[in-house]
Structure 1
């Protein structure tokens, strides 16, 4: 292996290892980066993603995502994944904290944040809030595919709301 002189070079090497499916090498490099520079937020983010999606170790993923957000609050990539994690863990208070912070950071895809909030509200059976969040997502999206997906969410919410309505039968005799 080549001798890497800077943290950025190690980071790029680790990203390349991930790209080629070498997760153990990438993890080793990310941890080396953190050992040499504990404030390198992107390494924390990448470790969070690895633990979240590869290992399903949500506590460790949350630790790394939180570190990344604390170290570099302006790093936009962390918020969408961190939000999905706290939604998975059903941490209602944290969901709203992370979402409100994410919506203020330049570079964060607002449509994805609103969509995640809509999915969370839908899971909570709060269809009115879910519909509101999906409408915000539809206004924030610039992609036709994403817009179509949001429209499907809105239709599903309408169907669920209609299914919960009481049926009134009239007797005709």
Structure 2
């Protein structure tokens, strides 16, 4: 039986378990941490990731991401995943609120945030906003692979704009 002397040691062990694919063990450790210290923001962050990506419990994931962002607002890692979740869930007011906050936090990838905002606008067929957000992401990106992904997104939206405009019919008097 492992003995952990501090909550931080238990947290690091939980992260190791998750990284090695042992989500049940990691989940157990993270829940123990939250039971002992409900204000442990990073444990909430890790739980949010597990609930979102592995368990697909979006309500629980949202709760943990939101709690993490409230407890430790300067923790940059939470914002991408939290925004990804609320874009996926199409939560209009929350998307703008979280994105605005994320763009003020040091260490948050502005390219990633703008890319998610572009995706959100694209999902809602707001082509002009989508192009603007993807272009903002392109300006901020520093990774070649992500740059190519953003260029692909811009081209995809442009094709959708052309396709959409070619099927518009107007009644003439």
Spell out the pairing of 1:152-167 with structure 2 (5 A cutoff).
152-166=152-166
Q: Aligned residue for 2:104?
A: 104
Q: Aligned residue for 1:79?
A: 79
Q: Aligned residue for 1:133?
A: 133
Q: Aligned residue for 1:171?
A: none
Shift in Å, 1:144: 1.3
Q: Paired residues, what number?
A: 168
Query: Are positions 1:122 and 2:131 aligned together?
Result: no
Q: Which has the larger radius of gyration?
A: 1
Spell out the pairing of 1:52-71 with structure 2 (5 A cutoff).
52-71=52-71
Instruction: Give a deviation string over 1:44-99, Cα, whole Å, max 9, x none.
Output: 00000000011110001111111100000000011111111111111100000000
Unpaired runs of at least 5, structure 1: 168-173
| Aligned partner of residue 165 in structure 2, secondary structure | coil
Structure 1 distance, partners of 2:165, 2:19, is: 49
Q: Aligned residue for 1:22?
A: 22
Shift in Å, 1:27: 0.6
| Aligned partner of residue 125 in structure 2, secondary structure | coil
| Aligned partner of residue 108 in structure 1, secondary structure | coil
Structure 1 distance, partners of 2:63, 2:166, is: 45
Shift in Å, 1:143: 1.0
Instruction: Give a deviation string over 1:93-145, Cα, whole Å, max 9, x none.
Output: 00000000000000111101100000010000000000000000000001111
Higher deviation after alignment, 114-123 or 144-153? 144-153
Unpaired runs of at least 5, structure 2: 168-173
Structure 2 distance, partners of 1:2, 1:159, is: 56
Structure 1 distance, partners of 2:38, 2:20, is: 26
